[in-house]
Amino acid sequence: MYFAHYTFEQKSIHIHQVFMNENYLDLAKQLQSIIDTAIDGIITIDSRGTIESINQSAAKIFGYSREELIGKNVRVLMTYRDKEKHDGYISNYLETKVPKIIGIGREVFGLQSSGKEFPMRLAVSEVVLVDRIIFTGIIHDLTDMHEAREEILSLNKSLEKKVNERTYQLEEVVNHLLKINKEYENEILERKEAERRLIEQEGQLKVALAKEKELGELKSRFVSMASHEFRTPLATVLSSVSLIQKYEREDQQVNRLKHIDRIKSAVANLTGILNDFLSLSKLEEGKTGVTLSEIHVIDLLEEVIDETRGLLKPDQKIIISCSDNDKKSCIFQSDRNMLKNIFFNLISNGIKYSERDVLVQIECMDELLTLKFEDQGIGIPEADQKYLFERFFRAGNVSNIQGTGLGLHIVKQYVGLLGGNIGFESVYQKGTTFTIKLPIQKEL
């Protein structure tokens, strides 16, 4: 009789021959029943690989009967990949006692009687008997697990494919939505641009309407002012002509000359009014261009002074103040008509609003011409000074003096067109000084 002694640390089983009692046979039967009914397959082989025992589960796994396998080499249950290596594994272990497979569970493929390969978990243990060594293999069929794994892999691939398909479909939907969104954005931009253009056009229409309204007001004011301003000089001309006819004798020559001067003054006044209206019309229509020519400042001033002598009051003079160098060097390029109009307006204003002399100061530097027109007249009220260059504006202290209120507005526009600037200083009841600064251009 034999007693089986298991030593797990050495992964081996030692069998010692001992004397056993009558219960041993029952124990052996119990062990055999456990092995036969085990779910996993159990096979024992000798050192040459010959199958000595196999339980029912192992026979079923491989598709054989137990009788068909006992006595055959275990290689019959192996695939071609493991058959050639099997004998080498056993012989190497028996010589070196270094386990490479023994005591180590691993996953391999078995070969069924039908020739079909199947996956299985194999654990091999060494069993040391009194006179020899055998090996026990415990086999767990992994076919269901592999099939489940393959099914999972297949499902994963199918799921991945569906995910890719859905992702592609989603991308198409997103791209379509982006395209629609872009179209909406473009449409919104177009609508905003259309709204902007409408607002801009509305603004332009409002500006045009305001200009049209302003032009209508200007026309009304022009008609009203023209009728008033023209009536007085024309009445003066008419009355003076009538009186001249009565002075027939030679000793009445003085009276005739007085009325002739009145006619000249009235005609000059009419000419100034017409010039102002014509100048304003051209400025408003943008038809005023700068035409450069050589200007002798002193000569042009003297020409304007000659034309305004008829406006001078008794004992009133126009005085030009400049150095000898300024008289010689004040020659530059400018627009003659604009400059003459500027001089005429400022000198005639000095005559009109003052009882004393009008002083014109000239300073001609290398690149700048400065002219000052100074009078000692009624001055401009401080409250009115900010409106001085506006069209048709007349200060509150000149309502009884003829004028259109256009002269200074036109002067400022002309000075701007010539690239210069105009300023003034005025003290009420003491006088006013206008200062003009113009750039000097020596050559055309």
Question: CA 143 to CA 140: how far, in whole Å?
Answer: 9
Angle formed by the axes of helices 407-417 and 253-285, to 10°? 50
Q: Which residue has the higher pLDDT, 16 or 36?
A: 36
pLDDT at residue 444 tops 90? no
Nearest CA to 389 among 345, 335, 358, 419? 345
Name the residue with higher pLDDT: 228 or 168.
168
Across the range 145-154, mean pLDDT stands at 87
Q: What is the mean pLDDT of residues 181-207?
A: 88
218, 234, 280, 214: which is closest to 402 by C-alpha?
A: 234
Calpha distance 115→124 (Å, rounded)? 23
In this structure, the chain runs to a length of 444
The predicted pLDDT at position 216 comes to 63
Looking at residue 440, the DSSP 8-state letter turns out to be -
| Range among 3-7, 16-20, 257-261, 317-321 with highest mean pLDDT value | 317-321
Looking at the DSSP bridge assignments, the partners of residue 102 are 124
CATH 3.30.565.10 residue ranges for the chain: 289-439
| Token digits of residue 259 | 């009325």
pTM for the predicted model, two decimal places:
0.46
| C-alpha separations of 20 from 3, 34, 131 in Å | 8, 21, 19
Q: Tell the CATH topology of 289-439.
A: Heat Shock Protein 90 (3.30.565)
* C-alpha pair distances (Å), 333 with each of 104, 294, 436, 442: 114, 5, 16, 6
CATH 3.30.450.20 residue ranges of the chain are: 2-141
Q: At what angle do helices 143-244 and 253-285 cross, to 10 degrees?
A: 170
Q: Which pLDDT score is estimated for 6? A: 37
Query: What 8-state DSSP symbol labels residue 383?
Result: G
Which architecture does CATH list for 2-141?
Answer: 2-Layer Sandwich (3.30)
- Dump pLDDT digits (tens) for 237-294: 767 777 776 777 777 777 777 777 777 766 766 666 666 666 666 676 676 788 889 9
Residues in a beta bridge with 433:
374, 425
User: Of 437, 422, 404, nearest to 280 (Cα)?
Assistant: 404
Question: Rounded to the nearest 10 degrees, what angle do helices 336-352 and 253-285 cross at?
Answer: 130
pLDDT for 423 equals 94
375-417 pLDDT tens trace? 999 999 999 999 888 877 888 787 777 677 788 888 998 899 9
- Distance separating alpha carbons of residues 202 and 361, to the nearest angstrom: 50
